[in-house]
Amino acid sequence: LHWNNHINVLNKASKLERETMAITYLKKSPKTSSTDDTKTTGIVQDLLKNIETTKEQGCIDLTKKFDKYDGEIIVSKERIEEIKKTLDQKTKDDVQFSYERVRKFAEAQLKNYGQDFEVELSDGLFAGQKLIPVNTAGCYVPGGRYAHIASAVMSVTTAKVAGVKNVIACSPPKEGVGAHPTIIYTADLCGADVILNLGGVPAIAAMTNGLFNNPPADIIVGPGNQFVAEAKRILFGKVGIDLFAGPTEIGIIADAKADPEIVAVDLVGQAEHGYNSPCWLYTTSKELAEKVMKRVPELIAELPEVPRTNADAAWRDYGEVILCDTDEEMATISDEYAPEHLEVQTENLEWFHKRLTNYGSLFIGEETTVAYGDKCSGTNHILPTKGAGRYTGGLFVGKFVKTLSFQRMTKESTELVGAAAARISRYEGMEAHARTGDVRLKKYGYSS
């Protein structure tokens, strides 16, 4: 109640401030950057659908149609060497100038990852970054088949630790009750400023559009069913999202030393999430595989009705057991699948830890299990699915923090930077860009 009152006061104060500010638009744009989005979306969807079936030839045909180009697609080494020899030296020098500064700044970002910094890239040219939390985060907490108490912990806590001022939590209500009482308690304990009895598409829409006297969310995080996931996908761009989430997944790498009972129990532990939750076992032991395949249905049969129904369908339709010859093969197939949750129950744990590259969260050794991470061990359980572990990790404080770059320069640094920027702009055909360098070179007494 305290937090609700507090945020209402902030919202009223913000509204009053907007009403009293003397802002006058001397020119107001008739369009926005989203004006042509609907037309563009339809065109792109049709093209992508076409290329799904026509593949390389489709790309070639469309390139002929739109770009009037009928040459090689993959640039050959010979073509690269030819360009190196024929391109004028001044152009190459200017590209080198740009490359060196961009590389130096990227190296500084990597070295100072997760913190503010400033670095002098060349004489008089300073650049850096500031880490600034988003103002408002929306946290979706599922509450359909199960009351996902831990999801409230994972999303709300992480947002607050990141420094987000306004955290809005949404969870589906039950008839006559509202959101699950324990979810409400948990969201409040973790620092939610507003808690809404909303689920599904209405929840995502409400947080995105700033409904119920709340500020619009800058980012929406949290797992949900396929309708929640699709709403987030459609609205991505208008609002940031954590990731494109699908049904929860588990992969287990196990060799002959693994305990088949533990492996089977852990597979079933994730299968109960839903009818479409994939469960994958990668193993070098045929004996272990056979024991697990026999035991999983037996374990499922012992469950209460709802998890039994879910797990039975998940194992039947989405379960896989993959027999490999070597540890390397297990690692390779696992990286191809990029499981949301990946358990390693093998003799050579350290080797797998170093070798594996694609997963949402890794559970090393039989002593740990997905449920520990899902509920309370500390790592976040909002993780990439559908192979997204190839390019992103799960929810962490950085998802709520913007890494914003800045630069400042002395007049003297313009002699080199301004001239190079103007020339590169003209190489690209961007004359107006070039003139922004020219005007400074002229003002500060340098020739372009």
Question: Which of the residues are catalytic?
Answer: 340-341
What are the distances in angstroms from CA 24 to CA 18, 27, 28, 32, 103?
Answer: 12, 9, 10, 18, 42
Cα 141 to Cα 115: distance, rounded to the nearest angstrom: 30
Cα 336 to Cα 329: distance, rounded to the nearest angstrom: 11
DSSP state letter for 252: E
Instruction: Cite the beta strand spans of 54-165 per DSSP E.
Output: 117-122, 125-133, 136-140
Instruction: Cite the beta strand spans of 261-359 per DSSP E.
Output: 279-283, 319-323, 341-345
443 sits in which H/E element: helix 431-443
Burial of 28 (0-12, 13-18, 19+ CB in 10 A): exposed
Of the candidates 252, 257, 226, 229, the one whose C-alpha atom is nearest the C-alpha of residue 241 is: 229
232 sits in which H/E element: helix 226-235
Looking at the DSSP bridge assignments, the partners of residue 140 are 170
Of the candidates 140, 145, 183, the one whose C-alpha atom is nearest the C-alpha of residue 314 is: 145
Structure tokens at 72: 């090689």
Which residues lie closer than 8 Å to 227 by C-beta, 6 or more apart?
200, 201
